[in-house]
């Protein structure tokens, strides 16, 4: 995952949010959330996620590549896994498919929502934008492989009942996901780094702001750890209320997975749109596809390990409706990302597919 340029001085909001969110956690811990605490906890959770990603970007920019990319991806994945495991631990068997729903939602949000927005707002301002097809094509190939191995095959395996993996199959999927993601990061940041630079930039061009000082990076590291603790705590606090609200609305539990993915990917969405507006569409696509790859490549192995301690089955296989949406996404993305040039028509197509995903998630 490619980090956006980061300022060398931490903005004030990034300093205030972690302690304020921690205060919300202290106030709400162990209590039944009432009318006032529910929105406060939700706001604190969202703010802590945004602040965590920001501080991860600061640390990543300080240490440089390829370690910076790994720090940013791991930080975001820790947030995602923490939310998934917390909700699965408290939800029992009814939350068995939460990991699948969250990862699938992340793929649909990145490949259709984030990519669609970038392909829409960029060409609206710049008419036609160019990107490196060899980079996006390679990332898409890895993504399709990981999605198929982790989310499609469990529906068709016969070792266990239902859309699940056996222990050996889950271990293979986790190791394969981790290896594929590691190879992709190596190619993106070391072996063929020039493929992932914006069109017109060379490998020696300085595309980032000056690196933050060591003191600033250490401060961000401490605030990042604080945010991660707060995210886990607030997620555990609000999970019963969130599940009750979804059930009261008559919506399927998969909506919770969509909400988690939207929350975690919010900062990446903003960064991708800003890059597209600055005529750096390649950066937007790096962010979108990198986020999707990290979501699968790191989340599936982490969930596989966590499943040792979790009670109940781990449902990973997609249903027929989801596989149709995935096949449509792969087909559209292949046609879009193979051209190397983008117009607003391509953005509109991706956003329509994304709208279909959101609509069917609420009304299956």
Is residue 5 included in any domain, yes or no?
A: no
- How many domains is the chain built from? 1
Is residue 3 included in any domain, yes or no?
A: no
Residue-level length of the chain: 364
Alpha helices in 109-213 (DSSP H): 115-126, 133-147, 167-186
Is residue 260 included in any domain, yes or no?
A: yes
| Nearest-angstrom CA–CA distance, 152 and 78 | 24
Burial of 319 from C-beta contacts in 10 A (0-12 / 13-18 / 19+): middle
Q: What is residue 342's three-state secondary structure? A: strand
Domain CATH code at residue 118:
1.20.1420.30
| Nearest-angstrom CA–CA distance, 231 and 179 | 28
pLDDT in tens, 285-333: 888 888 888 888 888 888 888 887 777 778 899 999 999 999 999 999 9
| Nearest-angstrom CA–CA distance, 1 and 74 | 10
pLDDT value, residue 2 = 43
What is the per-residue DSSP string for 180-192?
HHHHHHHIIIIIT
| Pairing mode of beta strands 129-130, 341-342 | antiparallel
Burial of 205 from C-beta contacts in 10 A (0-12 / 13-18 / 19+): exposed
> 182-200 burial, b if ≥16 CB within 10 A, otherwise e?
eebbebbbeeeeebbbbee
Low-confidence ranges of the chain (pLDDT < 50): 1-7, 65-66, 203-208
Is residue 16 included in any domain, yes or no?
A: yes
pLDDT in tens, 65-103: 446 556 766 777 777 777 777 777 766 666 788 889 989
Is residue 4 included in any domain, yes or no?
A: no
Phi, psi of 341 (to 5 degrees): -135, 145
**98: which 2 tokens?**
């939460």
| Nearest-angstrom CA–CA distance, 364 and 52 | 33
Is residue 346 included in any domain, yes or no?
A: yes
Domain span at residue 110 reads 12-362
Is residue 80 included in any domain, yes or no?
A: yes
């Amino acid at each position: 995952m490619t980090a956006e340029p980061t300022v060398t001085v931490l903005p004030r909001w990034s300093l205030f949010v972690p302690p304020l969110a921690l205060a919300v956690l202290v106030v709400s811990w162990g209590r039944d959330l009432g009318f006032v605490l529910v929105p406060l906890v939700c706001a604190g959770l969202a703010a802590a996620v945004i602040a965590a990603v920001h501080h991860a970007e600061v640390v990543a920019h300080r240490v440089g590549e390829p370690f910076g990319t790994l720090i940013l991806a791991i930080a975001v994945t820790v947030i995602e896994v923490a939310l998934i495991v917390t909700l699965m631990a408290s939800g029992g068997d009814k939350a068995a498919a939460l990991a699948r729903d969250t990862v699938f939602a992340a793929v649909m949000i990145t490949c259709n929502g984030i990519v669609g927005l970038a392909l829409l707002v960029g060409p609206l301002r710049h008419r036609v934008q160019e990107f490196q097809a060899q980079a996006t094509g390679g990332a898409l190939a890895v993504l399709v492989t990981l999605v198929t191995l982790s989310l499609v095959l469990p529906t068709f395996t016969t070792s266990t009942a239902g859309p699940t993996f056996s222990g050996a199959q889950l271990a293979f999927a986790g190791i394969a996901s981790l290896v594929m993601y590691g190879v992709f990061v190596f190619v993106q940041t070391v072996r063929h780094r020039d493929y992932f630079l914006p069109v017109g930039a060379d490998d020696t061009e300085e595309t980032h702001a000056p690196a933050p000082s060591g003191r600033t990076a250490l401060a961000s590291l401490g605030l990042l750890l604080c945010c991660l603790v707060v995210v886990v705590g607030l997620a555990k606090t609000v999970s019963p209320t969130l599940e009750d609200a979804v059930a009261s609305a008559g919506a399927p539990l998969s909506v919770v997975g969509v909400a988690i993915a939207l929350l975690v990917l919010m900062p990446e969405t903003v960064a991708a749109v800003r890059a597209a507006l600055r005529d750096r569409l390649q950066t937007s696509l790096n962010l979108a596809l990198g986020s999707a790859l990290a979501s699968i490549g790191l989340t599936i192995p982490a969930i596989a390990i966590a499943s040792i301690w979790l009670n109940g089955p781990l449902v990973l296989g997609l249903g027929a409706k989801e596989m149709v949406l995935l096949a449509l996404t792969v087909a559209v993305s292949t046609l879009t990302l193979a051209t190397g040039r983008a117009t607003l028509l391509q953005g509109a197509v991706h956003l329509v597919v994304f709208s279909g995903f959101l609509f069917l998630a609420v009304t299956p």
